[in-house]
Amino acid sequence: MLLRSGRQATIRSPSGTYSFGVGSEPMISVSDILKALDTIPIWKTLKGLPQRLEALEARIAMLERAAKQPLDRSLECPKCGHNPVTVDKVTSDTPFAFAGAKNRHVTCPVCGHKDKLFYDPND
């Protein structure tokens, strides 16, 4: 709520009450204040913090889940070493298919590297 009393304007919001002088200028609206804040670089950084925090929380949750699982070395990205890669599909296009060997077609969630990794389910 914006109240004006003489040369003093007051904004009352759930987060607090803010008073400022308005002189003989027209009343300052909240949208004018937000427009003014948008010209300050640090304000743009601050506005982006909730999304960044959410992304970091999701990443931490993913890392905590990964830390609880034992590492399967056959699911390591050959390019960046991230483990595990995402298995897109499993095929039998290997000369050792007669013995049950397969190829895992994988994508690394970190670097985006795509590869075909030999895999023997009997190991």
> Binding residue for Zn ion (CB under 5 A) from 13, 111, 114, 118?
111
Q: For Zn ion, which is the closer residue by CB, 3 or 111? A: 111
Q: What is the 3-state secondary structure (H, E, C) of 61-115?
A: HHHHHHHHCCCCHHHCCCCCCCCCCEEEEEECCCCCHHHCCEEEEEECCCCCCEE
Applying CB under 5 A, does 108 fall inside the site for Zn ion?
A: yes
Applying CB under 5 A, does 77 fall inside the site for Zn ion?
A: yes
Q: Which residues fall within 8 angstroms of residue 116, CB to CB, at 6 or more apart?
A: 103, 104, 105, 106
Min. distance of Cβ 113 from Zn ion in angstroms?
5
Min. distance of Cβ 104 from Zn ion in angstroms?
14
Q: Which residues fall within 8 angstroms of residue 30, CB to CB, at 6 or more apart?
A: 2, 11
Q: What is the C-alpha separation between 16 and 121, in angstroms, rounded? A: 63
Number of residues that bind Zn ion (CB under 5 A): 8
Stretch that binds Zn ion, among 8-16, 22-30, 63-71, 73-81 (CB under 5 A): 73-81
Applying CB under 5 A, does 102 fall inside the site for Zn ion?
A: no
Binding residues (CB under 5 A) for Zn ion: these are: 77, 79-80, 82, 108, 110-111, 113
